[in-house]
Amino acid sequence: MKINLQKTCLILAIMTVLGILAGCATADYYRLKQTRMDVDFAMTHYQNAVSFGSIAPSFQAQVTPAYQAYQTAFDAAVQQAHSNYDAPTPDNVKQLADQLLSLLGSIPAVP
């Protein structure tokens, strides 16, 4: 009985390690779906903060063009991927999304 339990634990451990390795191997690229969710989540929080008046107008003027540039590139990438949101995110879209998220993360709240 003890040997069967040891074999079962060993098999589970091996399967866990293989699962982790397989997961890491597929994480080489960022999918359009994840990019959209990350940006949408950050923009929702930003828009809520704007509506409550906790974002200075000078920063709003920086976010609007950054978001428009990202959205234009993202829409083009989705069209190129034939609306397949599981397609890898192109480098230019990743760069614009990273810039937008960085800008959103650097905005100080108005006291």
| 3-class DSSP state of 90 | coil
Q: What length does the chain have?
A: 111
Tell me the pTM: 0.71
Facing residues of 31 across strands?
88
Q: What averages of pLDDT result for each successive group of 10 residues across the chain (111 residues)?
A: 52 52 53 95 92 87 95 97 95 95 82 58
Q: Cβ distance 1 to 59 under 8 Å? A: no
Which of 86, 56, 92 is CA-nearest to residue 72?
92
Instruction: Give the integer Cα–Cα distance in Å for 87 and 59.
Output: 32
